[in-house]
Amino acid sequence: MGITIRGDWKGSPEWDMGYASFFRLRRDIAYTVSKEFGDHYADITSAVYILNKKKCEEYDKTTDYLIKKYRLKKRFVDFLYAPDSGYRLSPMKCLAVLHQIAYGNDSANAENESLYGYMARPDSCMKMTDFIDLLATCSSTKKYLIWY
C-alpha cells in the first residue's frame, strides 16, 4: 500500500511511492524554508508528538511561530500538512510550492538527486525535477495535483 501522485488529467505522468518517500519529499521541500523549519517539520513523525497531547500542542505552537517567522504562505503550508492520501492540491497551491522550491533559502534542493518511490524499481522513481515539472504543469494548465 502506498501513494500515487499525479496531475488530474488524462495521460499525466504518475509516480508510486510509499508513505515514507512522500514524507521525505515534503521534508526536503520544508528544508527550502530553513534548516530550523525543516528540522521542525521532520519531527512531526516522532512518537513523542504523536502519543503525547501536550507535546503535540507544543509542536503546533512552534509550527505557528515558524510560519509567522518565515512569513510562509498558507498555500505552501497546506501542501506540507495535507493528508497523506486522498488530497487535491489546487493550481494556486502548486504555484506556491513551486515558488518556495525555486526561491527558498535552499533552492539548491531543486537539484536534489534523491529518488522518491520504491527503490526496488529505481527507474520508476520520481526525482525533485520531475516533481517541479509536475507542479509547473499543474499551475500553468490550471489542473490539480492529486495523490491517493
* pTM (predicted TM-score): 0.90
Query: What pLDDT digit, counting tens, does each position of 64-103 carry?
Result: 999 999 999 999 999 999 999 899 999 999 999 999 999 8
pLDDT tier at 109, thresholds 50, 70, 90: low
Q: Which long-range contacts (CB under 8 A, 24 or more apart) does 33-38 make?
A: 33/66, 33/70, 33/72, 33/100, 33/104, 33/105, 34/70, 34/105, 34/106, 35/106, 36/66, 37/66, 37/70, 37/72
Query: What pLDDT digit, counting tens, does each position of 115-128 carry?
Result: 999 988 878 899 99
Query: What pLDDT digit, counting tens, does each position of 3-21 carry?
Result: 999 999 999 999 999 999 9
The pLDDT of residue 121:
80
Range 38-62 average pLDDT = 86
Domain ranges of the chain: 3-33+74-147
Q: Residue 108 above 60 pLDDT? A: no
